[in-house]
A = this chain, B = another copy of it.
């Protein structure tokens, strides 16, 4: 593993290069060379020669500097059937003495919780259980959870559940480390202040019981900010769990409908992160690395995860939905959810997710089949997938090759497809995939939306800046952006 770090004396060429570098790094406080808007490098990393070339260009407005680096961070992931029972030893190894277990009323009854509780008990670790996580959390449900943890003073957290549980646990951990903070301090801008997480949080182990959110690997937590009538969240890589324990036994309790909708979330995580703008097209470049967003645009490492997750989802989701006894498919979907989590957790999502938030919250009264709840519900995965055919038809022009590669993942023979047709072909493949999956709406109309609801959905999407900024092909000017969103939502009414 060890390579020698031997160096030869600098040649004349090296000396010249060193000189160039010296020049380059004397621009205080940091090199402004990445902001020249005349340089567009689609899905190519900037190279030193680009770097040097840019320096020879005229100075540019620093506020328009483009990003020049990306950062990959993910929780450690342990994967294996039965691995849940190891969690007590993990906390013992971390020397945790008081653990706050976070779950919801339904998961509390499942075997995953039994294994977790037995694991902690076996190690003699004290714990308390908060089982009041709200599915699709709201700010007040999160604040209640935070208040629960405060007097207990846990030295570690354990989340057992789906994305809502894991997201809530992340925020219990965050605000217990910043007891003096205002709730909005960390909430994504522009709704909140979007402050970075600059203190070390307590260890958090996440045990997912759904194969969808990938929350066990990411630094993102999503909730409704009731006062602003907006779905938003808190996102910083330092919020990510210490360890995700992905135990395929735990996802076998998902009903088929939950398999389908959480799998559609995986599908969109992978497709959106794969097609998000490249990291080096994002502006502005952070002046401090702690401000580099987790949702930073597609990059060469997130790409690997996103494409692999897409391929697995296309292959295994239909099997997992069709046959709850297909343990290979269930296991592969849990893995795909985690891989997609690493992908979008470091690249971001864009239009499907941006529009899904108002679609879910402005639900005209739709209740998805197979969901045993006493109120209307458009599952998150359904609300992201319903616009997907229109979205990828629209974004394809930004990078036809990536959209063709995605179509190929759906089994399309792309050898004879023209690049201009990439969007059409991918949109069609997606529509067919959704239709073949069964029990999926064929557009917003099936969810009860009318043409007259589109304007409200457009208005509800506009505040989702954090994801919209990663949308390829979307106009930056407000009215043009609205017109584009309107077009996407209208095309998504039925298909």
Contacts and interface: CB of A to CB of B under 8 A. Distances in A.
Interface string A1-22: 1111111111001100110011
A373 B9 CA distance: 12
A403 interface: no
A318 interface: no
A480 interface: no
A162 to B, nearest CB: 3
Contact of A80 (B70, B83, B135): B70
A424 interface: no
A296 B82 CA distance: 17
Nearest to A370: B8
A79 B24 CA distance: 18
Interface in A147-206: 161-165, 167, 196, 198
Interface in A211-270: 212-215, 218, 220, 222-223, 233, 237, 248-249, 252-255, 258, 261-262, 265, 269
B289 A7 contact: no
A381 interface: yes
A306 to B, nearest CB: 11
Contact of A222 (B2, B82, B222, B335): B2
Interface stretch (A86-94, A426-434, A452-460): A86-94
A47 B82 CA distance: 10
B6 A106 contact: yes
Contacts of A68: 80-83
A107 interface: yes
A107 B3 CA distance: 13
Given A25-B115, A72-B77, A289-B78, A220 B1 contact: yes
Interface string A367-402: 000111100010111000000000000000000000
Nearest to A29: B122
A484 interface: no
A215 to B, nearest CB: 6
Contact of A2 (B137, B324, B377): B137
B1 A111 contact: no
A89 B287 CA distance: 9
Contacts of A89: 288-290
Given A5-B161, A222-B1, A255-B7, A78 B70 contact: yes
Contacts of A110: 7
A118 to B, nearest CB: 8
A328 interface: yes
A264 B179 CA distance: 51
B80 A4 contact: no
Interface stretch (A297-305, A412-420, A469-477): A297-305
A344 to B, nearest CB: 8
A169 to B, nearest CB: 12
B83 A69 contact: yes
B288 A2 contact: no
Nearest to A166: B2
A326 B390 CA distance: 40
A165 B77 contact: no
Nearest to A218: B1
A86 B2 contact: no
Contacts of A328: 47, 49
A258 B86 CA distance: 43
A408 interface: no
Contact of A81 (B29, B46, B82, B115): B46
Nearest to A71: B78
A65 interface: no
5 contacts: A4-B261, A6-B255, A30-B85, A72-B79, A300-B335
Given A45-B80, A70-B78, A304-B304, 9 more contacts: A2-B164, A4-B261, A5-B163, A14-B253, A21-B249, A49-B325, A69-B82, A93-B288, A304-B308
